[in-house]
Chains A and B, each alone.
Chain A
Amino acid sequence: MRYKDYYETLGVPRSATGEEIKRAYRKLARRYHPDVSDEANAEERFKEVQEAYEVLKDPDKRSAYDRLGSDWRQHEDFTPPPGWNAGPGHGDAGFADARDFGDFFESIFGAAAGERRRGQGFRMRGEDHSVKVRIPLEDAFAGNTRRFTFSMPALDERGEVRESKRSIDVTIPKGVVEGQHIRLAAQGGEGFGGGPAGDLLLEIEFEPHPRFHAIGRDIHLDLPIAPWEAALGARVTVPTLGGRVELNVPAGSQSGRKLRLQGRGLPGKTPGDQYVVLRIVVPEPRDDAQKALYREMAEKMAFDPRAGLGI
């Protein structure tokens, strides 16, 4: 079992006052709260911060913890001496929430505190679990059934928190948009003391697509065109999620011009549109004849692209 340095977790010296500890806790709790933080391991860090504060905020628990010794060497495995479990905590542990503080905490404050936390005497709904899942744009457009596999924390027979792999087949509805959630009732954390299980929420994210990118329901596509297509206009074939479509490039177009294909985005009550952004690509001359063509164009068109720059 690893020794946990609670002072280091909160970023306070061992001589910190109760006020300093409280302030440090509040700052870190705000930063790492899973509903607030963008970081991947926020929940884990938040629990660590909570555990550290639970011990250091209470003078009795803090002194019991301090008795482990300040000359403790890091990375050394900690074996509690026999009879160690008879520390404070068997009486009023003051645990209002069912948090999982793990082996180290229990070795100091007793298994009784752990049992009490795990549902003897109070009833609570299980935690919601939220997971980001990535799907290809094609699935969002047409709907699909996919198997998702992820690691979830779960309680084993001893009531310990373990990572377990779960696989779920989910039917993705047509027209789902990034940021939307799919709710799988009662598939989340187990309830405590007979309480109901929490839900599993899948937050939809789109895999990066080589050609399209989605903003809400609208699809955006960069379309390469030749200089003569831009200048003279052209009828071109353009990919959409629903198949190929013909598009008129207006004569006199410039790079960056946006053309709208109505209703060609992601489906919905109001279907999204597809926006095609023109990108003029200049072909490199491969031989003298082609170079001559360009020079002729330069002479005959007498065009100064930098006229407006004032140089």
Chain B
Amino acid sequence: MAGPRSPQRALLDDATVLSLAEFCRAGDVSVEIVVEMVEQGVIEPQGRQRADWRFSGAALRQARRALRLRRDLGLNWPGVALSLSLLEELTELRRRHRALLRRLDL
């Protein structure tokens, strides 16, 4: 494992591309659950057939967040899907708001 001396290879999450099998391995999650998440609109792969499915690093993050919300808050899948899209919007709004406040010296 690289120590603190050698720079870590910085993988921009958006640039990562994972197949279904790689996604399951990386997320430590079964194919059934991934398929469920895709059907519920929690994550969206590129490609039409399962064999062609390609997931981004951002999708992996979303999937993990979805599983945590289900586990910790007992949300059902539609609740998870809605929560995730609202949280994404909220995060972006909060960021822009902070930037605007800084700009107006508030």
Contact = CB atoms under 8 A, between A and B. Distances in A.
Co-complex (A, B): yes
Interface stretch (A8-16, A33-41, A67-75): A33-41
Given A33-B69, A183-B16, A215 B99 contact: yes
Most buried by B among A38, A182, A183, A185: A183
Interface in B39-83: 57-58, 61, 64-65, 68-69, 71-74, 83
Question: What bracket does the count of chain A residues touching chain B fall in?
Answer: 35 or more
B7 A171 contact: yes
B10 A182 contact: yes
Given A36-B87, A125-B28, A180 B10 contact: no
Interface in A27-54: 29-30, 33, 35-36, 38, 46, 50
Q: Is the interface of A mostly helix, strand, loop or mixed?
A: mixed
A30 B73 contact: yes
Nearest to A126: B28
B64 A169 contact: no
Given A33-B72, A35-B65, A181 B57 contact: yes
Contacts of A187: 8
Nearest to A182: B10
A46 to B, nearest CB: 8
Given A213-B99, A213-B103, A35 B13 contact: no
A166 B4 CA distance: 8
A44 to B, nearest CB: 15
A180 B7 contact: no
Interface in A98-149: 124-125, 128, 145, 147
Most buried by A among B1, B8, B99: B8
A1 interface: no
Contact of A169 (B1, B8, B13, B69): B8
Contacts of B92: 179
A178 B95 contact: yes
A242 interface: no
Nearest to A176: B12
A181 B61 contact: yes
A172 interface: yes
B73 A33 contact: yes
A236 interface: no
B7 A201 contact: no
A26 B74 CA distance: 9
Given A33-B73, A125-B28, A169 B6 contact: yes
Most buried by A among B10, B12, B91, B95: B10
B72 A29 contact: yes
A196 B28 contact: yes
A170 interface: yes
A88 interface: no
Nearest to B74: A26
A180 B99 contact: no
A169 B87 CA distance: 30
A122 to B, nearest CB: 13
A172 B99 contact: no
A194 interface: no
A97 interface: yes
Minimum-distance CB pairs A-B, first 6: A125-B28, A169-B7, A181-B13, A167-B4, A171-B10, A171-B7
9 contacts: A29-B72, A33-B69, A35-B69, A169-B4, A169-B7, A170-B8, A181-B61, A213-B102, A215-B99
Interface of B: 1, 4-14, 16, 28, 57-58, 61, 64-65, 68-69, 71-74, 83, 87, 91-92, 94-96, 99, 102-103
